[in-house]
Amino acid sequence: MTQNRSALIVGVGASRGLGAAAARRFAREGLHVVVAGRTAEKLDTVVAEICATGGSAHAVIGDGSNESDAKRFVASAEEYGPLELVLHNAGSNRRDAFLDLETSDFENLWREHCLGGFLTGRESARHMVARGRGTILFTGASGSLRGRAMFAAFAAAKAGLRATAQSMARELGPKGIHVAHVVIDGGIEGDRLLSAFPGRQNEKGPDGLLSIDAIAETYWQLHIQHRSAWTHELELRPWTEAF
């Protein structure tokens, strides 16, 4: 069913993941949600969940760090109505001793986070600016603020994304586009973390990991902020997280 407005989330994986939680939250508000990612099976599951609860969604397969794919993601959303809300949530992490870090691995993380965020933001903004409205959100990390030992590639990629978001906000804000960067400081209670570290949830205790639904709610609240009081950057962390 064609909707009046659409949303795009780049970087959707498992149903128990942040991208999927954001998709479900946006769909509850009547937006037609386009979920973009690399794995068709996972995307189809998220779409089926949204449609089963009365929402509207479809999936597009591709790589957000590929320019032609990024353009295709945005075009696919625009087919269902004006693109109002975009979330760039793509990108992985890796741990490497600095002396062993391969050039290709350093570059790949930069492409996933920084280049992918730039492409998603640019292609979305090219449609939004003409209408004078829209929200572009980026999932950031505390690595964008401080580079930890063993995480040089991730820190560089996330710091680049943060700087890109700042430049976008300063240029596009006066044109009616709300650009926000959300620093995630702590582990996310989703499949990616819990499948890799099954005991982490018990180790952290109640609400010691960031709830995917709580993050998704924050993303929605950013979107509906009045333009006289826009937030560009905020940090989210569990109540027990040291900082």
B/e letters for 105-128, b = 16+ CB within 10 Å, e = fewer, are ebebbbbbbbbbbbbbbbbbbebb
Residue 228 has phi, psi (to 5 degrees) of -75, -10
Query: What is the rounded CA–CA span in Å between residue 50 and residue 46?
Result: 6
Residue 16: DSSP 8-state:
S
Amino acid, res. 179? V
Mean pLDDT (the chain, rounded): 96
* Max CA separation in the chain (angstroms): 53
Dump the DSSP string for 41-62.
HHHHHHHHHHHHTT-EEEEEES
CATH number of the domain at 6-236, please?
A: 3.40.50.720
CB 223 within 8 A of CB 6: no
Look at residue 196 in the predicted model and tell me its pLDDT: 81
Tokens of 135: 């929200």
Rounded to an integer, what is the distance from CA 7 to the centroid of its chain?
12
Write down the pTM of the prediction: 0.96
CB 45 within 8 A of CB 12: no
How many residues make up the chain in this entry?
243
Cβ neighbours, 10 Å, residue 222: 20
Look at residue 3 in the predicted model and tell me its pLDDT: 46
Percent of the chain with pLDDT over 90: 91
Residue 170 has pLDDT above 80, yes or no: yes
User: What is the average per-residue pLDDT within 19-47?
Assistant: 98
For residue 29, give Cα distances in angstroms to 6, 22, 32, 85, 204: 10, 11, 9, 11, 32
For residue range 61-120, list pLDDT tens digits in order. Answer: 999 999 999 999 999 999 999 999 999 999 899 999 999 999 999 999 999 999 999 999
Look at residue 1 in the predicted model and tell me its pLDDT: 40
Closest CA to 177 of 168, 166, 190: 168
Query: What is the rounded CA–CA span in Å between residue 49 and residue 175?
Result: 35
**18 confidence band (pLDDT: 50, 70, 90):** very high
**7 confidence band (pLDDT: 50, 70, 90):** very high
Tell me whether residue 2 is exposed, middle or buried, using C-beta atoms within 10 angstroms of its C-beta: 0 to 12, 13 to 18, 19 or more.
exposed
